[in-house]
Structure 1
């Protein structure tokens, strides 16, 4: 991302996710906070420590900005971020996990939450985790494209060539693309909640932007200026049959589900 790096003490990192900028350790373990804690005291002691490990600070660490320190015992200090003592979850099975947030009272720590998605969108549980879905519960997909050339230029924006997308989703036929991968329409009266989620006008024949109100143009939802889709092969809410479609499991020229939480597939879909 464009901008200065976050002000983090040594031993921490930030992971950009679809739900926000997640705080982690330098080894990519998710960091959590406990609702019963206070800035100067920890309620996680005794049996609690069998499941949760305080994120301890080195001997020479000092408070800075949003970061302070809590002395758990003589010589053992725990990092505190914005008044929240920090922990890792001993039962997490993979990096950047959200599984610890299933435990009542515990939650992942974020430096910054992601902008809110449209109010009509929903969240659906799938075989692998939670996805963003439209008002009917259909999984939402995002198109990714990188030109197969030395410079690897992006080709997933409506202002870019649509040759790759049309070839992938319909063998070059716009009608087949619309049948297999329909755009997510914005209902009358809906408006963009922020600059991340916007409503755009698209010419369905070309896939390019169209003038608002132009004959045949569709008013659709876009994520970061790129239209989002559902998949015609999904039969019921929670289906992710279209996930990972295309080259490199959808990363080079294809579509991937809009994951809010991926517990099992590790980015495959």
Structure 2
């Protein structure tokens, strides 16, 4: 790693950061309905131009439509600061230097140009983007960059609302059993009809939190943090949590997500488990990305609220508040981590305001974005608001916060 960079812990796992601890992001190229956005390897595409019209990447909308609130609109580099390289900077391994159109030198990792986000305020913040996977109709998102995960070959990790989940390299979920220890497996005979030990190849070696258990001569099982690992034969799909329904069995996470507020709770629904408020009402989060070539986000209270107000109330803030009320934070509730915070919102504009400002609401936010309930959900377990908006809520709309999604795979 070149001088001036470091690794920080974050809710997205270890991330690369600059000398101030601010997370580094890439903007990988993403195929949309009518073309591509993002950056191809070695080619910066985020500049100081303030774009004024849509790019037409998301049919049926044509290109050339005037973007809203142009007098307030930022350029890509207003929001995403290029990580510049000094004249004498030396490339190291996957760290290279690319040239911007004005001749400036910019750091890249694995050929992807690097940026910091103005939304991040503290070391380890990842408020500017996520490693979570979204469907093809989602905007070209910015992604935190970090070192390779320290797991042996044959495994993979994916970020979710619950944390960083472990699976095989074929995306089969991995589980552990509470009755096992690092030196013994109690899953034998009949147990093996449902559970398949994750076996290590003959050349595998123990490393860090990974060890090996000899089940029988010549057959060794992977052990992570003192627990032998298995896949569940009855899982119906990839990245499943179905095996955790079996008593004593749990999905394995390399990192558990920050705790949600104590007034929230898991709620079972017909589509899976969602996060709900104290009354069992499903909690939703807003997603928005502009159909501009720079794919700037519009889901944060420092950004234009035109799209959200149009989607939730036909431009009327009062209708939005009626149908999609904010989840209010109780007078005595306090935020205990950076993932779940309490923010002050002007309900007429949807923008951040100073604490205690007249008429402002004190609301819960996930990664700085306010969360909502839906007036159409009348009973615990209702998810009638899930996927509301454009392209099932991926482009301009609301999606339920799913804690377990065995059926719809991100659709809601």
Q: Give TM-score, length-normalised by structure 2.
A: 0.64
User: Map of 1:91-110 to 2, 5 A cutoff?
Assistant: 91-110=234-253
Tell me how far 1:84 sits from its aligned partner.
0.5
The counterpart of 2:210, out of the listed 67, 71, 86, is: 67
Unpaired runs of at least 5, structure 1: none
SS at match of 1:97: coil
Between the two proteins, the alignment pairs up a number of residues equal to 269
User: Map of 1:36-75 to 2, 5 A cutoff?
Assistant: 36-75=179-218
SS at match of 2:212: strand
Match for residue 212 of structure 1? 355
Match status 1:20 vs 2:163: yes
User: Map of 1:184-263 to 2, 5 A cutoff?
Assistant: 184-263=327-406
Match status 1:159 vs 2:293: no
**Cα-to-partner distance string for 1:158-192 (whole Å, 9 max, x where unaligned):** 00111111111111111111111000001111111
How far apart, in 1, do the equivalents of 2:263 and 2:148 lie? 34
**Cα-to-partner distance string for 1:70-125 (whole Å, 9 max, x where unaligned):** 11112111100011100000000111111101101111111111000001112111
User: Map of 1:115-134 to 2, 5 A cutoff?
Assistant: 115-134=258-277
How far apart, in 1, do the equivalents of 2:147 and 2:400 lie? 30
SS at match of 1:250: coil
Match for residue 112 of structure 1? 255
Unpaired runs of at least 5, structure 2: 1-143
Match for residue 20 of structure 2? none
Tell me how far 1:2 sits from its aligned partner.
3.9
How far apart, in 2, do the equivalents of 1:198 and 1:97 lie? 29
SS at match of 2:392: helix
